[in-house]
């Protein structure tokens, strides 16, 4: 489906509301000023000044009100450097992100989720944003809400399995690529026959290497896939996925802490070495593979502390 975004002033939006007075819809989405439906085009204006034209006939309609930068097919603009379509933040998108790769304790969690254009405002109101700016408490609060609102797939690579793959020679990059590709596949299946306008992967490797990691996989999702190093600020679907992945990670850390008998720290700093040493003293070093990522330097440091 084609869609165009214009940024307009309050006055212009008021003018539009009058213009479309006899086509107004009863419901407007959260944060919306009005929605109107004419033949082959739905127009939704938001408090933020964004006006969205969706449908077959939207080029002509949007041109009446402004000069959209995004009239052309966004994928034709793909060039070197920034290959993201200019209206990406307003698209119906699957976004994926992972958590836990830098933490000694706990699993790796990967989430892909689908956020439709009309949900973007609502998610913003809920406080969905870059998860790095959110406290754990807020993550849990928001995570609970959004998991009911959007289709998503959560994949958890538990420590034992992680350590087995790592020992067998698999890089963390490859593990992540496999998980992202799988999670995206699950979401595509969930939303079928609907298709996202775009799939955004929070970039952890370059595109070329990502697809090289996937060689040999049964289904490789390539169509409309883009990579962004700042995925969370590019589209809310990546931010939502990052929150859900962190939410799941925190829950696993709680469970592991319960098993350990004391709270396990995040990250990979000196506190983590201390905690691992404490765990070894209490339960023996054979339990480590179930709690930690063994190949981290923390393992040797912890063993020296015991």
Calculated CA dihedral for residues 70, 71, 76, 80, nearest 10 degrees:
-20
Q: How far is the CB of 34 from Mn ion (least distance, A)?
A: 36
Q: Does 97 bind Mn ion (CB under 5 A)?
A: yes
Q: Which stretch binds Mn ion (CB under 5 A): 96-104, 156-164, 193-201, 280-288?
A: 96-104
Q: Is 76 exposed, middle or buried (0-12, 13-18, 19+ CB in 10 A)?
A: exposed
What does the radius of gyration of the chain's CA atoms come to, in whole angstroms? 23
Which residue has the CB atom at the shortest distance from Mn ion? Answer: 202
Q: Are 276 and 288 in contact (CB under 8 A)?
A: yes
Residues between 40 and 69 with contacts to Mn ion, criterion CB under 5 A: none
Residue 14 or 203: the one with the smaller Cβ distance to Mn ion is 203
Q: Which stretch binds Mn ion (CB under 5 A): 38-46, 106-114, 145-153, 202-210?
A: 202-210
Q: Which stretch binds Mn ion (CB under 5 A): 94-102, 166-174, 183-191, 253-261?
A: 94-102
Q: How far is the CB of 281 from Mn ion (least distance, A)?
A: 34
Q: Does 202 bind Mn ion (CB under 5 A)?
A: yes
Q: How far is the CB of 265 from Mn ion (least distance, A)?
A: 21
Q: Which stretch binds Mn ion (CB under 5 A): 4-12, 106-114, 197-205, 208-216?
A: 197-205
Q: How far is the CB of 262 from Mn ion (least distance, A)?
A: 29
Q: Does 103 bind Mn ion (CB under 5 A)?
A: no
Per DSSP, helices labelled H in the chain are 10-19, 58-63, 120-126, 136-149, 159-167, 172-191, 207-213, 231-234, 236-260, 270-283, 298-305
Residues 6+ apart with CB under 8 A from 184: 94, 96, 112, 153, 199, 201, 221, 225
Interface ranges with Mn ion (CB under 5 A): 97, 202
């Amino acid at each position: 489906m084609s869609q165009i975004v214009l940024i307009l002033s309050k006055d212009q939006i008021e003018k539009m509301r009058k213009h479309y007075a006899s086509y107004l819809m009863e419901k407007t989405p959260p944060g919306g000023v009005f929605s109107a439906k004419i033949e082959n085009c739905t127009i939704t204006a938001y408090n933020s000044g964004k006006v969205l034209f969706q449908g077959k006939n939207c080029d002509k309609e949007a041109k009446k009100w402004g000069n959209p930068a995004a009239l052309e097919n966004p994928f034709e603009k793909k060039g070197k450097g920034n290959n993201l379509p200019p209206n990406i933040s307003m698209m119906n998108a699957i976004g994926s992100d992972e958590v836990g790769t830098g933490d000694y304790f706990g699993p790796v969690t990967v989430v892909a989720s689908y956020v439709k254009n009309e949900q973007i405002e609502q998610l913003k109101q809920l406080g969905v944003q870059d998860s790095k700016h959110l406290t754990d408490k807020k993550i849990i609060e928001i995570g609970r809400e959004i998991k009911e609102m959007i289709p998503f797939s959560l994949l958890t690579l538990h420590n034992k399995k992680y350590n087995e793959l790592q020992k067998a020679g698999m890089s963390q990059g490859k593990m992540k690529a496999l998980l992202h590709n799988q999670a995206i596949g699950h979401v595509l299946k969930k939303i079928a026959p609907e298709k996202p306008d775009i799939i955004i992967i929070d970039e952890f490797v370059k595109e070329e290497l990502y697809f090289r990691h996937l060689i040999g996989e049964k289904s490789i999702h390539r169509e409309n896939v883009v990579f962004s190093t700042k995925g969370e600020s590019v589209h809310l679907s990546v931010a939502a996925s990052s929150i859900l992945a962190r939410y799941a990670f925190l829950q696993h850390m709680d469970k592991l802490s319960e098993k350990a008998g004391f709270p396990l720290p995040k990250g990979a700093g000196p506190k983590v070495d201390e905690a691992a040493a404490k765990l070894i003293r209490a339960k023996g070093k054979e339990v480590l593979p179930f709690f930690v990522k063994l190949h981290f330097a923390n393992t040797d440091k912890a063993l020296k502390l015991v």
